[in-house]
Structure 1
Amino acid sequence: MRFFSSPRALAPLAGAALTLFAAAHPAVADGDLSGAQRIVSIGGDVTEIVYDLGEQDRLVARDTTSSFPEAATDLPDVGYMRALAPEGVLSVKPDGILTIEGSGPPQALDVLARAGVPVATIPNGFTRDAVVAKIEAVGKALGVPEKAAPLAEKAGKSLDDAIAEARAIDRDTRVLFILSMQGGRIMGAGSDTAAAGILELAGLTNAITGMTGYKQLSDEAVIAAAPDVVLMIDRGAGHVVDPEELFSNAALSQTPAGREHRLVRMDGLFLLGFGPRTAEAVRDLSSRLAADGL
């Protein structure tokens, strides 16, 4: 199946399908999926929570970022969460869409809503409380708050313990999270990002200050950041930046991380998902750096 990311390209293709689907599925109150039995889950963190709640039998499809648990990858993939195509989503005949905040494009979600498919949007965030709230919100949207309450409580307690353990280590470790290195240009993480959030939970210092979001960094900014270690997502075979190539970067080679070739790679959903496994991610990241004397 071919998917399109351009809203203009989608409109003429989706029209007929939308008309038929809307006739068969009258609109349901936004956010209420309690009666839905054919749900498309958008967002790896949201999908994880659905499985942890034991509601996975109600899923008929998921997005590309939903790679955990492994069983989720057996579901049809409707595309990347920020480049959804309405006709791809509608092809699995959903009666509900569960999506993490920031999915889209907005035009695609509007088209789906006009087709009569209820859309429940789960708030996102990069804090301990955001994880707890996310679990509770998924449970409420699915109509199973009684299942979500103990899971949320367990996640909150685990996070409290992991955060306390990590912050008990006497450290002042500066971490540079690198999202990509296209064309040799480093794209780093400023504040208001999942990367900044996980570093804070682990008691680590984000080497990039005075910047929000993910942006390309100048050589001067990289040198001034003076990171002790570089943190990157493990993208799998064929997509991994070679350490020698990474630390041969003119700016990065002048930093403590570059001189010592200190690099940590972790699975992206595990590290940045802010879902049920975030406490494990905090412990894993903290222990890896502690093992290296950081």
Structure 2
Amino acid sequence: MDKTKLPRLVSTKKVLHRLSAMSVLWCLCSGGVYAAATSSAPNTHTAQLTSSVHENQQADTPRIIAAGGSVTEIIYALGRGDWVVATDSTSMFPAAANEVTKLGYFRQLSTEGVLAQQPSLLLGASATGPEPMLEQVANAGVDVHVYHVSKDIVGLSEMVLDIGHRVSAVEKAKQLVTDLHRQVDAQQVQYSEAIASYASANYSNTINALFVVANNDRGITVAGADTVPQALFDTLGMTNIAGDLNGYKLMDAESVLARNPDVVFAAGHMLHGENALNSLCSHHAIAATFAGQHCLVKAMDSSIGLGLSPRFAIALKAVAEHGLRALSLKASDTAKQGPANQEQVIKKLISQNIVLETSLNSDSHRDAAGREE
């Protein structure tokens, strides 16, 4: 059986060289990442706030509004959390981000709410808005930068380096990107070595994965292409069964059943109550799949499962471990159906800590899989 080929990551040196150049180029552009239009005229109250903003810009310490959990986390990771005066409601990590003013959902910020904080800089994740607010805040003299980057490690690196330049933390940003690539490389190598053991024993080493962000009677909303889950799966060589969809789309039960996911990940924000994972395992779209039969459904912190977080490697580790759990159960199923000598192969894999010992117990598939909260 062919081994799963994992994509080769771009070398860290090349990424740093290319992205550093891009960061400098962006910062030389007068409009920045977001170029404000001049058509939206502020009202009287907004004009008063604008005057206050101009006066406050004489202060030595920048006043940053961070919109979007990924942007907020990067700023704090670069040691500039003390410059943050307000964040949006999705910015919950680190804990210090909850101690500043909250401005509401980053897609629906108000001009008055933003300007009332007298910011000198607004940094926003993709979809920060609405557009008239961005225009009015920029027209008030605030530097506004909204990041539209690819939802993968390259896009994350771009954002880290550019934010580092804007908050005077260039060297820390370069180090953060270097550390990120090193951690991801290590996770990728470790997973590659583990799945190679299955291939050498003639067991399947491929994983069909699915990331669920919401569910209802019509079906489940899943992560398709151009999403962080897609990047996590791609990095490990897993197949996203929703990869033919773009963004977050509804997938009907028949499509999920036909594509038969081996593992399912669920965004933590959609899970409520002690039996939330069990309920998802028994969902009519999932119950008859391999993942449903073994309850291979894992909760993922939405901030790292759906957002471009500096904790990307932590999310990758969780995905890899869940994938190996599925391979363990697939191998045990094959051993029970195959010739007697396959049981000896399973025992060998157990000794290498690759397959769960309980996999040899005929009635223990569901319990061996576990239900990870």
Distance 1:132 1:235 in 2: 26
Equivalent-residue separation in structure 1 for 2:274 and 2:164 (angstroms):
36
Q: Whole-Å Cα distance in 1 between the matches of residues 275 and 89 of structure 2?
A: 22
| C-alpha separation in 1, matches of 2:188 and 2:135 | 39
Using the alignment, how far apart are the partners of 1:220 and 1:185 within structure 2? 9
Partner of residue 301, structure 2: 267
- Say which SS state the counterpart of residue 41 (structure 1) adopts: strand
Query: Which of 1, 4, 19 is the matching residue for 2:47?
Result: 19
Q: Which residue of 1 aligns with 2:214?
A: 180
Query: Which stretch shows the higher mean deviation, 69-78 or 195-204?
Result: 195-204
Match for residue 123 of structure 2 among 98, 105, 116: 98
- 1:278 matched to 2:303: no
TM-score when scaled to structure 2? 0.68
Partners of 1:251 and 1:236 lie apart in 2 by 16
CA contact (8 A) 1:184 1:249 kept: no
* Conservation of the 8 A alpha-carbon contact between 1:162 and 1:283: yes
* Correspondence for 2:244 among 210, 213, 221: 210
**CA 1:163/1:86 → structure 2, altered by over 3 Å: closer, same or farther?**
farther
Match of 1:73 in 2: 98
Q: State the alpha-carbon separation in 2 of the partners of residues 237 and 207 from structure 1.
A: 22
Tell me how far apart the structure 2 counterparts of residues 72 and 228 of structure 1 sit (CA, whole Å). Answer: 36
In structure 2, the CA distance between the partners of 1:63 and 1:258, relative to structure 1 (3 Å rule), is same
How do residues 194-205 of structure 1 correspond to structure 2 at under 5 angstroms?
194-205=228-239
1:26-50 alpha-carbon deviations (Å, 9 max, x no partner): 59xxxxxxx7621101111111111
Residues 247 and 184 of structure 1, relative CA distance in 2, 3 Å threshold: farther
Distance 1:76 1:165 in 2: 41
Q: For residues 36 and 166 of structure 1, do their structure 2 counterparts lie closer, same or farther at Cα, with a shift above 3 Å needed?
A: farther
**Within 2, Cα distance between the matches of 1:83 and 1:266?**
25
List runs of 5+ in structure 1 lacking aligned partners.
1-10, 28-34
Residue 241 of structure 1: how far off its partner (Å): 7.1
- Gap regions ≥5 residues in structure 2: 1-39, 196-204, 330-373
Q: Distance in 2 between matches of 1:240 and 1:176?
A: 22
Q: Is the 8 A contact 1:97 1:119 kept in 2?
A: yes
CA contact (8 A) 1:36 1:96 kept: no
- In structure 2, the residue matched to 1:61 is 86
Query: How far, CA to CA, are the matches of 1:191 and 1:225 in structure 2?
Result: 16
Alpha carbons 2:49, 2:112 under 8 Å: kept: no
Q: Give the greater-gyration-radius structure (CA).
A: 2
Q: Bigger CA drift: 258-267 or 175-184?
A: 175-184
- SS of 1:180's equivalent in the other structure is strand
Secondary structure of 1:103's partner?
coil
Q: Residue 48 of structure 1 is aligned with which of 60, 69, 73?
A: 73
Offset from partner CA, 1:202-228 (integer Å, 9 cap, x none) = 332111242111111122211122101
Judge conservation of contact 1:63–1:78 (CA < 8 Å) in 2.
yes
User: Would you say how many aligned residue pairs link Structure 1 and Structure 2?
Assistant: 277
Structure 1 window deviating more from structure 2 (247-256 vs 237-246): it is 237-246
- Distance across 2 between alignment mates of 1:132 and 1:163: 17
Q: Detail structure 1 runs of 4+ shifted over 4 Å in the superposition.
A: none
* Structure 2 residue matching 1:134: 3-state secondary structure: helix
3-state SS of 2:101 partner:
coil
The more displaced of 18-27 and 60-69 is 18-27
